[in-house]
């Protein structure tokens, strides 16, 4: 079984233990994949998020998934791209790593990531994909409960990039 799988589609429909949300520091919702996740999960997700007191860039927090098909939502805060000299690369790697650590702490077996920071936050897509793949491979190489990791891409550009890098 392939441990890292490329999937194109809507992350809110994925039947995995946890989906990752590309959230912002407030954890109170927004547009893009964050908006889609909150819409699909229903208002109880926001109620739980309000109790979390936000989240720093590069970190992540976990909640229940309510009406979603998955069991948990891991809200990761990626960096806004300001040109690359503000520690953006390390912050993006850190967002992936901390999400994976939360999943491993709960002994989850499957997880799906969107392309964190590559939408509204303008992180260059190819560089973001290289960082994402390198970071998750390093994590999965350690002992981890995770048996399957999905890169859930939405747009064709990210699909092409991931297809090229993963093959």
User: Could you list the residues that contact ligand AR6 (CB under 6 A)?
Assistant: 10-12, 22-24, 30-34, 36, 78, 114-121, 152, 154-155, 158
Q: What is the closest distance, in whole angstroms, from the C-beta atom of residue 145 to ligand AR6 in the complex?
A: 24
Inter-CA distances, 48 with 1, 28, 41, 136, 160, Å: 35, 10, 11, 27, 36
Pick 13 or 109: Cβ nearer ligand AR6 = 13
* 34 a catalytic residue: yes
Q: Of the residues 10, 34, 105, 156, which is catalytic? A: 34
User: CA 77 → CA 1, 15, 49, 147, 166, distances in Å?
Assistant: 30, 22, 13, 24, 24
Measured from the CB atom, the residue of 6 and 120 that comes closer to ligand AR6 is: 120
Contact assessment for residue 4 and residue 11, using Cβ atoms and an 8 Å cutoff: no
Which C-beta is closer to ligand AR6: that of 33 or that of 102? 33
Question: Minimum CB separation from ligand AR6 for residue 142, in Å?
Answer: 26
> Which of 87, 102, 99 minimizes the C-alpha distance to 136?
99
Min dist CB 18 to ligand AR6, Å, is 14
User: Where in the sequence numbering do the catalytic residues fall?
Assistant: 34
């Amino acid at each position: 079984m392939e441990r890292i799988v490329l999937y194109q589609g809507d992350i809110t429909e994925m039947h995995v233990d946890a989906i990752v949300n590309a959230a912002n520091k407030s954890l109170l919702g927004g547009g893009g994949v964050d908006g889609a996740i909150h819409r699909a999960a229903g208002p109880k997700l926001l109620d739980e998020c309000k109790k979390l007191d936000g989240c720093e860039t590069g970190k992540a927090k976990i909640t229940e998934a309510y009406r979603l098909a998955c069991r948990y939502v891991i809200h990761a805060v990626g960096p806004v791209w300001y040109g690359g000299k503000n520690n953006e690369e390390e912050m993006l790697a850190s967002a992936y790593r901390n999400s994976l650590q939360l999943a491993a702490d709960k002994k989850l077996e499957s997880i799906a990531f969107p392309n964190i920071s590559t939408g509204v936050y303008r992180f260059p897509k190819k560089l973001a994909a290289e960082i994402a793949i390198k970071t998750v491979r390093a994590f999965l190489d350690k002992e981890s409960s995770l048996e399957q990791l999905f890169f859930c891409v939405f747009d064709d550009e990210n699909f092409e990039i991931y297809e090229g890098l993963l093959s």
